[in-house]
Amino acid sequence: MARIFIYDTTLRDGEQAEAVSFSLGDKLRVAQRLDDFGVDYIEGGWPGSNPKAVDFFKEARRLGLRHAKMAAFGSTRHIKNPADSDPNLQKLLEVEVPVTTIFGKTWDFHVREALRVSLDDNLEMIRSSIAFLRSKGKEVVYDAEHFFDGHRANPGYALATIRAAAEAGASTVVLCDTNGGSLFSRVREITEAVVKSLGVPVGIHTHDDGGLGVANSLAAVEAGATHIQGTINGYGERTGNADLTAIIPNLILKMGHECIPAGNLPRLSEVAHFVAEQANLSVDIRHPFVGACAFAHKGGIHVSAVQRAPETYEHIRPEQVGNVRRVLVSELSGRSNVFWKAEEMGIDLNQQPEKAQAVLTKVKELENQGYEFEGAEGSFELLLKRELGEHRDFFTLDGYRVIVEKRGAGAEVLSEATVRVTINGQRLYMAAEGDGPINALDRALRKALEQAYPQIKGVHLTDYKVRVVNPAEATAAKVRVLIESSDGTAEWGTVGVHENVIEASWRALTDSVDFKLLRLESSGQTVTP
């Protein structure tokens, strides 16, 4: 099969996404990771548009890239400027990278309305810009902007623009679905015709406005394209660019092409999450291949089948892309789910299958009341241990009180909580203030417990969510509180449900601490007050 070249434009196109803004340090770290992963080209930015791009190219020289070629992005010359004195083209030369990528107009509508030049002048702008960059020893990638829209409006002229680019010395001509509205059947048909007639390598650059960015890129490869442009996680303007985290595994695992060094595909999930972290975002849990749900199984029949043969409900093995198989426990589960989760926790239920049924029955009862254990595996493990008789109470609640007070219309809201617990026969009473009633309750509980169990000092809440379970009951409705906790090494979720949000939060809070102490004890550490 063909060698497909991966051109990553996360640091330029990706940064055009709403809520994405990379610092200079972020861009350098992403570039290093992309090079380690094995992409062929890294488009670092448009030096003619902002100083951060210029600074990036200057600093990127120190990265010592081993695999990728660095590319700078720009446009064809301005109609008023000769190529050798055009400021934009000069900026591309000043950053001293081996590859320059320039875009030009393909759609006659854009030529007349956006550039406001003649069709012949536009062809000359394309030719002279590419020829000038080639004369300076640059590899030139030509992006034919709005190619598929231009081909639909005036196919003869659209083809004339890319022929001009090829004749001027472009190493690759990239067909761009800039508005993201093309269908893959048309992309395949047109790309195939271009590949047969153009005489230079053809690439594809698609957007996801129609939800077909990945499909259109792969259709172009089927038609003979050997160069794909895209971004990690599909970041890009509007609804995004073609997503390389879906394109790359499909190219390798489904189409048999080479595109990154052999053996690097299992690093795909790591790269996706790394880039998301630099963008201060999270990878969508339902993201294909790299999302947390990509290999998650919930239905009992599915889990039972996957236990026997994973391919029954998985199109690839999760480890091929660096992901993991997950089994969820819910009211839709069967005993297979419980057996699986117990095995993950180091518990063998094969000798006591009736316990699995008891746990499953309890889960279904609780979920009917509003509990949800998919995001609260800490609470599920506690439930399992209680049913098996392997849980002990580390403390007993004697009572709590929460006070919320506002002294005047313009005054701050004050929150204070008191907690009374008994630990090994000793009764403790603690009070604390907080930023809201739940925070005050959390602080008071920890003050009481940390005296007896100093191991929980490193535990802190990382997320707190409240959801109304039965909204028809209005202010009397049940609420479900989901808490994420961390000790700096591990993370776990716990859940509480009640008509009173304070009580629901208390149940989730105490499960969080209980889980930490139980895990310490299970690992062989001494947990005594």
Same domain, 249 and 204: yes
| pLDDT of 514 | 87
What angle do helix axes 300-308 and 335-344 make, rounded to 10 degrees? 60
204 in the same domain as 60: yes
Rounded distance, CA 139 to CA 137, Å?
A: 7
Asked, for residue 501, whether it belongs to a domain, the answer is: no
Inside any domain, residue 497: no
Same domain as 399, residue 383:
no
pLDDT at residue 192, rounded to an integer: 97
Claim to verify: residue 254 and residue 135 sit in the same structural domain: yes
Domain that holds residue 301: 296-387
Are 239 and 148 contained in the same domain? yes
Q: What is the pLDDT of residue 215?
A: 97
Cβ atoms of 336 and 303 closer than 8 Å:
yes
Whether residues 201 and 223 fall in one domain: yes
Domain count, the chain: 3
Same domain? For 256 and 107 the reply is yes
Same domain, 201 and 80: yes
User: How many CA atoms lie within 13 Å of 198's alpha carbon, on the beta-carbon side?
Assistant: 29
Residues 376 and 433 in one domain: no
Find the distance separating the first CA and the last CA of the chain, reported in whole Å. Answer: 65
SS3 for 378-407 is HHHHHHHHHHCCCCCCCCEEEEEEEEEEEC
Whether 83 maps to a domain, the answer reads yes
Q: Is 468 a member of any domain?
A: no
Same domain, 331 and 364: yes
Q: Kindly state whether residue 178 falls inside one of the protein's structural domains.
A: yes
Do 197 and 112 belong together in one domain?
yes
- For residue 213, being part of any structural domain is answered with yes
Closest CA to 177 of 219, 132, 135, 128: 219
The CATH number assigned to the domain holding 214 equals 3.20.20.70
At 155 the pLDDT is: 95
Q: Whole-angstrom Cα distance, residue 94 to residue 170?
A: 20
Distance CA 157, CA 329 (A): 59
So what's the pLDDT on residue 334?
Answer: 63
Binned average pLDDT, 10 residues per bin, the chain of 529 residues: 93 93 92 96 91 91 93 95 94 95 94 90 96 96 96 95 97 97 96 96 97 97 97 96 97 96 94 92 91 79 74 88 76 65 72 76 77 78 80 86 87 90 88 90 88 84 84 73 87 89 90 86 64
Same domain assignment for residues 410 and 349: no
End residue of a domain, out of 452, 470, 485 = 452
Specify the DSSP class assigned to residue 243. Answer: B
* 19: in domain: yes
Cβ contacts of 361 within 8 Å, gap of 6 or more: none
Name the domain boundary from 387, 409, 432.
Answer: 387
**Any idea what the CATH number is for the domain that residue 440 is in?**
3.30.160
Q: What separation in angstroms does the CA of 198 have from each of 31, 132, 170, 174, 242?
A: 32, 21, 11, 11, 24
DSSP 337-385: HHHHHHHHTT---TT-HHHHHHHHHHHHHHHHHT---TT-HHHHHHHHH
502 occurs within a structural domain = no
